[in-house]
C-alpha cells in the first residue's frame, strides 16, 4: 500500500514541476507576444495563446489538486487506522501528508494567481493599449 501512495505522491510532484515549467514558458511566450512592436499585429494570436494556455492550465491544476486531496485524505485515514510497527514508517507517512498538503495549497494559490493574471489583462485592455500606441506612432509620423 505504501508503494502505491509513494507512486501517486511522486506523480503529483512530477506533474507540479511540469505544470510550473509549462506555466513559466507560456507566460514568457504570452508577454513576448505582447511586446510593444508586435502588439498591434499579434493581439488576436496572443489572446488565443493565452486562452488556450489558461484552459489547459486550469485542467491540469485541477487534476493535480484533486489527486493531492485524495492522497491527503487516504494518508490521513492510514495514519488513524494503521498500527505502524516502526516509528520511521509513521514519520514517512506524516512527512508525505505534510508535503502533499503543501502542494495542494500551492496549486490552489498558483491557480488563483493565474486567474488574476488573465483577468487583469483583458482583451479590451490589450486592444485599447495597442490602439493608443498605434495612434501615438501615427501622430509622431504625421
Examine residue 30 and state whether it is found in any structural domain, yes or no.
yes
Largest distance between two CA atoms of the chain: 83
DSSP 75-138: HHHHHHH---SSHHHHHHHHHHHHHHHHHHHHHHHHHHHHHHHHHHS-HHHHHHHHHHHHHHHH
What is the C-alpha end-to-end distance of the chain, expressed in Å?
74
Examine residue 29 and state whether it is found in any structural domain, yes or no.
yes
Examine residue 24 and state whether it is found in any structural domain, yes or no.
yes
Per-run averaged pLDDT (10 residues), the chain, 142 residues: 64 71 60 50 52 66 78 84 81 84 76 62 55 52 45
pLDDT, position 117 = 58
Domain assignment of residue 115, given as a range:
2-135
pLDDT, position 55 = 67
Examine residue 103 and state whether it is found in any structural domain, yes or no.
yes
Examine residue 142 and state whether it is found in any structural domain, yes or no.
no
> Number of structural domains, the chain?
1
pTM: 0.52
pLDDT, position 61 = 73
Amino acid at each position: 500500500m505504501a508503494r502505491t501512495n509513494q507512486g501517486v505522491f511522486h506523480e503529483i510532484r512530477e506533474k507540479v514541476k511540469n505544470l510550473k515549467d509549462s506555466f513559466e514558458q507560456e507566460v514568457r511566450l504570452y508577454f513576448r507576444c505582447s511586446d510593444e512592436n508586435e502588439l498591434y499585429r499579434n493581439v488576436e494570436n496572443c489572446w488565443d495563446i493565452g486562452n488556450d494556455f489558461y484552459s489547459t492550465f486550469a485542467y491540469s491544476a485541477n487534476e493535480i489538486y484533486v489527486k493531492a486531496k485524495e492522497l491527503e485524505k487516504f494518508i490521513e485515514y492510514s495514519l488513524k487506522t494503521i498500527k505502524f510497527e516502526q516509528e520511521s514508517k509513521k514519520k514517512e507517512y506524516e512527512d508525505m501528508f505534510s508535503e502533499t498538503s503543501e502542494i495542494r495549497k500551492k496549486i490552489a494559490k498558483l491557480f488563483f494567481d493565474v486567474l488574476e493574471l488573465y483577468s487583469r489583462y483583458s482583451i479590451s485592455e490589450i486592444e485599447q493599449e495597442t490602439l493608443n500606441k498605434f495612434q501615438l506612432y501615427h501622430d509622431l509620423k504625421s
